[in-house]
Amino acid sequence: MNGIDEMTTVLEPSPLPDFVETKYVKDITSRALSYIKAGFPVHFRGPSGTGKTTLAMHLASKIERPVVMIHGDEEFSTSDLVGGQQGYRFRKVIDRFVSRVLKVEEDMVKRWVDNRLTVACKYGFTLIYDEFTRSRPEANNILLSILQEKMMDLPVGRGGEEPYLRVDPDFTAIFTSNPEEYAGVHRSQDALRDRMITLDLDHFDYDTEVAVTRAKSKLSKHDVEMIVNIVRGLRESGKCEFAPTVRGCIMIAKTLKVQNLTPSKANGAFMRMCQDILASETSRVGSKTNQERVKEIVTELVAKELGMGKTVDVPEDTAEDTVGISTADSEKEDKCERKEIESLAGVSG
Ligand SMILES: Nc1ncnc2c1ncn2[C@@H]1O[C@H](COP(=O)(O)OP(=O)(O)OP(=O)(O)O)[C@@H](O)[C@H]1O
Ligand SMILES: [Mg+2]
């Protein structure tokens, strides 16, 4: 695509592998698509793990225009979204033949770098602005006129062109956000929210949660149902600082799968795995009281699923052997997933 700076990553609108389309998913997608077709941006809002980012990618693939993705960030300024005058441009050439030789070529041409938002507006691409309320509200002001007047104000210094850009009619925007009580989230401006149609998402229904966990882990339906029952039981107990999400189901299912285990075959190790993963997922700072409470509930739920009555022994040796998943690991998994989504969607420059 000529004229698009190589710094801007444009994604192909291809369907996501492992994507499951249950009735719940189809229903939300078709509602969202009808608002998009009527010319309105759509905003998926909901707690962590309710499928917002995945749905946004799926919706974008239905729109069948190239996709530009932005992740909201506290450090963003308007010029990060729009582009800016880059005084210097460094090009690093790593000489692969002679190790430890690093040539730095510097080309000092002042140039305008169109950033993602500008590219999307100019070429009529689909913008996914993931977690947009993580950016400061003033950085997002630029969106007000884009969404309403279909005009984008350009900062001075772009050279030779008009101070605004007419937004291509094919431009569409999909937003996602976590509720305001989440850490690191700003209140969204009323004016911005008023320009989009917000769909509030909650945790998946049972069938979708089972289908997603199965698709991600390739574990049997029976085993996945046991895991989902445990996670949903804990969620519905209302006793957690954070409700466990489908990610908890996926982590447990995948961990079992790589060890070639099933809940009943794994015995005490399954109990320990559920406790580790679910206690880590449901607390922010890992407070002892939260952990104890969660472990107690998980113990009962696992015992019920395994049909073992209330007492299940966690043998000391298996307890040690089990893969411990810390919050750091789950964050890593999260990042991997985001990368996975981007790369599976087919990245092209
Ligand atoms: N329809 C689906 N098919 C397959 N997997 C899905 C589907 N929806 C969600 N998932 C999986 O569920 C997990 C959570 O989904 P996602 O990351 O989209 O949630 P989110 O609401 O964006 O969460 P966060 O607020 O934490 O970013 C991911 O592992 C994702 O791959
Ligand atoms: Mg997300």
pLDDT along the chain (349 residues), means of 10: 55 84 96 96 96 96 92 79 58 45 40 74 94 89 92 70 86 93 81 94 97 96 97 93 94 95 87 92 80 91 81 43 41 46 41
Check if 217 has its Cβ closer than 6 Å to any atom of ligand 1: no
d(CA 260, CA 107): 54
Q: How far is the CA of 17 from the centre of ligand 1 (A)?
A: 13
Check if 13 has its Cβ closer than 6 Å to any atom of ligand 1: no
d(CA 211, CA 1): 37
Residues making up the chain, counted from first to last: 349
Please give the number of the atom of ligand 1 that sits closest to the Cα of 250.
29
pTM, entire model: 0.79
Q: How far is CA 177 from CA 46, 73, 134, 163, in A?
A: 7, 12, 8, 31
For the record, the structure tokens of 334 come out as 């999260």
Check if 56 has its Cβ closer than 6 Å to any atom of ligand 1: no
Q: Which residue has the tokens 């009962």?
A: 300
**Which of these, 153, 158, 166, 146, lies nearest to 111 by C-alpha position?**
158
Pocket test for ligand 1, best of 20, 22, 53, 177 (most atoms within 8 A of CB): 53
Check if 72 has its Cβ closer than 6 Å to any atom of ligand 1: no
Please give the distance of CA 333 from its chain centroid, rounded to a whole number: 11
**Which of these, 59, 61, 69, lies nearest to 33 by C-alpha position?**
59
**For residue 331, what pLDDT is reported?**
47
**For residue 21, what pLDDT is reported?**
95
Check if 246 has its Cβ closer than 6 Å to any atom of ligand 1: yes
Q: How far is the CA of 50 from the centre of ligand 1 (A)?
A: 6
**For residue 76, what pLDDT is reported?**
76
Please give the number of the atom of ligand 1 that sits closest to the Cα of 340.
31
**For residue 132, what pLDDT is reported?**
93
